[in-house]
Amino acid sequence: MATTENAESGSPENKVDRRPGNSDAMYPLKVLYCGVCSLPTEYCEYMPEPAKCRQWLEKNFPDEFAKMTVGKSAPKQDTGGGDAPPAGEEEEKKKQKRGGRGQIKQKKKTVPQKVTIAKIPRAKKKYVTRVCGLNTFDIDLKEAQRFFAQKFSCGASVTGEDEIIIQGDFTDDITDVIQEKWPEVDDDSIEDLGEVKK
């Protein structure tokens, strides 16, 4: 007990806050933030324009800039060998577009496929009509569902990724209605499957 009390009762000047695992660090840490990207200076190289960050650091804190460039130039030369690209090309590879976010992949355009129409039995003599494939022609399914519900005076709903269910048997009329409303869907790309099980 006596040793613990002596250590705690020591003067505050002798105390240095040291955390386990990192014996040479003194807390609280002093961190230098970049004036361009507002991140700590060791992260500037990962930003879209590291050259501007380096210029700012060289202008405002030349001693810190010298420490960073001396520490970084030695490992690059050792690991580079003879196949290393020039510094400008390496910097260009690291540079990302759109402010540090990854590039957004564009959706692949699907080739127009067939629109399939099927009559599905629901109860004794009742049917529903299923229309699939309108999405491949860039037709908004919600808009098509509202149009079918209004045109046939019945209930209609979007049930799948590319499927509209219309309450009632409209397989005879729906081909003409689709071609009137959306002329890009030609007669060859509409296929009537007839009556199918669910």
Q: Measured between alpha carbons, how far is 172 from 175 in angstroms, rounded to an integer?
A: 7
Question: Residue 37: what pLDDT?
Answer: 86
Mean pLDDT computed over every residue of the chain: 75
Q: What is the mean pLDDT of residues 21-26?
A: 68
Cα dist from 87 to 7, 78, 94, 95, whole Å: 53, 14, 11, 12
Q: Measured between alpha carbons, how far is 142 from 145 in angstroms, rounded to an integer?
A: 5
Q: What is the pLDDT of residues 75-114, one digit of tens each?
A: 444 444 445 555 555 655 565 555 555 555 656 555 557 8
Q: Residue 19: enclosing H or E segment and its boundaries?
A: none
Q: Measured between alpha carbons, how far is 167 from 149 in angstroms, rounded to an integer?
A: 9
Question: Residue 2: what pLDDT?
Answer: 45
Q: Is 129 helix (H, G, I), strand (E, B) or coil?
A: strand
19: left (phi over 0), alpha (psi -120 to 50) or beta: beta
Q: Is 142 helix (H, G, I), strand (E, B) or coil?
A: helix
Burial degree of 131 (CB within 10 A; 0-12, 13-18, 19+): buried
Q: Measured between alpha carbons, how far is 61 from 71 in angstroms, rounded to an integer?
A: 16
Cis check: omega of the bond before 20, within 30 degrees of 0: no
